[in-house]
Amino acid sequence: MKRKIFLSVTAIILIIAAFITYKIFGPAVSVKGDSPQYLFVKTGSSFDDLKKELLDKEFISSTTWFSRASQILKFETVKPGRYKLSNGMSVFNLARMLRNGQQTPVNFVITKFRTKEDLARRAGKLFECDSTQLISYLNNNDSIKQFDVDSNTVMSLALPLTYSINWNTTPKKILQHFHKAWKEFWTDERKQKATSLGLTMHQVFTLASIIDEETNNEIDRPKIASVYINRLAKNMPLQADPTVKFGLKDFGLKRILYGHTQTPSPYNTYLNTGLPPGPICTPQAETIDAVLNAPKTDYLYFVANSTFDGTHVFTSDYDDHMKYARLYQAALTKLLDSANKK
């Protein structure tokens, strides 16, 4: 009799143990759809906030066993972040991941941003800090001087790369990631080439940004760089149309007219000699190297080819330049008139 009771109690204990083991170590997390799902834990969240978020997003049906697993792991301090959840994850693995702060970083891809506002808006959609916080930081010279930039040149830190950054980051940490990549990009060889051109690293970046806005033609970029370098050496205004667009903040302009070129702006290179105070976009790394490796030429002028094939005509004589410029303007007028009639 005693043996039967013992066996019965043992069986019950084993069933209970198996049940508890299953609840803690068995599949518990539910993820809907095929795309990755993330749990976002905000800075300052309490343990109750965390459990509420898990329930609200329907990642788990009850917090009972999650709480038990957390007690076993001595998980008490909530760490903010972006956590990737997998379907069927156990509450034990979930609690351990959250306890250890094993979040999944955000891949922040820098392509072409023209303004700090563009960068801030994109970052605001990806990170816990919002766009207002980031733009405020980028405009604060006291905050960013540690990176050897000011509010005009700060965008030159945003090299066109993919940055792996934690979701619960701060504007300062975003800049730290940019600055680290910047220092790695600017090798001694690149620095020496910039110095030989009489330009700082930030000035090279600014010049590259103008060229990137001038053309998509990879072959012509080094020659365009040579034109601007020659004009800088002669203290001639660059007369770069993209800088006028930037100053006006009208990036849809199809044609730059005299009135546009006479609008005062630090970025208007028709009215001001030298480079503008900062970049007008985030240029490609290849364009930066096109500036650093610009060929020695006597070109002082260039204009888009009237065939609209993406190439440019380069000259060292103003009269020759005007001849090709008139051809281009006539072709552009015809093209725009045709488009307006449709």
Of 100, 116, 135, the residue at which a domain comes to its end is 100
pLDDT tens track for 142-190 = 999 999 999 999 999 999 999 999 999 999 999 999 999 999 999 999 9
Residues 177, 215 within the same domain: no
Do 34 and 112 have their domain in common? no
Domain identity same for 181 and 258 = no
The domain in which residue 288 lies consists of 188-299
Q: Is there a single domain that holds both residue 169 and residue 149?
A: yes
The better pLDDT of the pair 22, 314 is held by 314
- Flag whether 20 is in a domain: no
Tell me if 305 is assigned to some domain: no
Do 116 and 78 share a domain, yes or no? no
In this predicted model, what pLDDT tens digit does every residue of 108-139 receive, in sequence order?
999 999 999 999 999 999 999 999 999 999 99
Q: Look up the pTM and report it.
A: 0.88
Number of domains in the chain: 3
Tens digits of per-residue pLDDT, 34-68? Answer: 788 999 999 999 999 999 999 999 999 999 999 99
Final residue before a domain boundary, out of 83, 100, 117: 100
Read off φ and ψ for residue 279, nearest 5 degrees: -70, 155
**pLDDT number for residue 7:** 59
Q: Is residue 263 part of a domain?
A: yes
Residues 215 and 249 in one domain: yes
